[in-house]
Amino acid sequence: MGAHMPNPSLKAGRILPVVGRVRLGQLLKLPNIISLCRIGMVPIFLVLLSKDRFTPALYVFALAAATDALDGAVARWFDIRTELGAILDPFADKLMLLSALVVLTFEHALPVWLLILTAIRDIVLVLGYLMISFAAGERFPVRPSISGKLTTLLLIVCVIGTLASHFGLGQRDWYVLLYLTGLVLVVSGIQYLRQALVYLSQHVPELFS
């Protein structure tokens, strides 16, 4: 009697669910769940703003901002880093901040130039990332700079300050904060541009010949 040969289809049937569970497990890592929750808060925040319910909108935005720091801290504490998380976290940040800036600018609560500066910087960063990754044939490793993190913090403060009626700041102090945010936006954009040029000079030197 011949030896029993395993059925390849049965073996594949057992392996595929395991692979699916592994991938789902990577998706449902705690930092990624926190980022997804932050994305889910954006429409709630926008609905509240559309109904002029500024105090609840402030609470939702402040909670979303808190999760921004939380997911990064959890990822570092438990050494949980995934490719999906590297995409979800900055996407959630941009979606949250740009949504707030757009609505508050149209409500004439924030100056138009702050939205324009933020949008231009983010569009240039995204397009530059895609172009550099294409030219180098590999993913461009973006390293968050101090000015980039400070920019995010200042934008969050500007949004929360607007919703909370400027934290009781005088008009002059408020404009100093806005101009400081604009300055740091420009500086962070220049630093990311310099980082990109250094990377290109090392990985695609023919572009500079």
- Give SS3 for 147: helix
Residue 69 within a domain:
yes
Q: Which residue spans within 57-187 are E strands per DSSP? A: none
CA-based R_g, the chain, Å: 22
Give this prediction's pTM. 0.77
How many separate domains does the chain show?
A: 2
Instruction: Tell me the pLDDT of the chain averaged across its residues.
Output: 79
Report pLDDT for 88.
Answer: 76
Q: Residue 117's domain spans which residues? A: 110-209
Is 178 in contact with 117 (CB distance < 8 Å)? no
Report pLDDT for 94.
Answer: 87
Structure tokens at 98: 């740009």
The Cα–Cα gap between 58 and 44 comes to 11
Distance of CA 168 to the CA centre of its chain: 29
Residue 4 within a domain:
no
Domain boundary among 55, 89, 123: 89
Domain boundary among 24, 55, 89: 89
Per-residue pLDDT of the chain (209 residues; tens, 9 = 90+): 444 445 544 444 444 343 444 455 555 677 778 888 889 999 999 999 888 888 999 999 999 888 877 766 666 666 666 666 667 778 888 899 999 999 999 989 999 999 999 999 988 888 887 887 777 777 766 677 788 889 989 999 999 999 988 777 788 889 999 999 999 999 998 988 888 888 778 877 776 66
Instruction: Report the alpha-carbon angle 39-40-45, nearest 5.
Output: 95
In a shared domain, residues 122 and 204: yes
Report pLDDT for 205.
Answer: 74
Half-sphere exposure of 115 (CA within 13 A, CB side): 16
End-to-end CA distance of the chain: 72
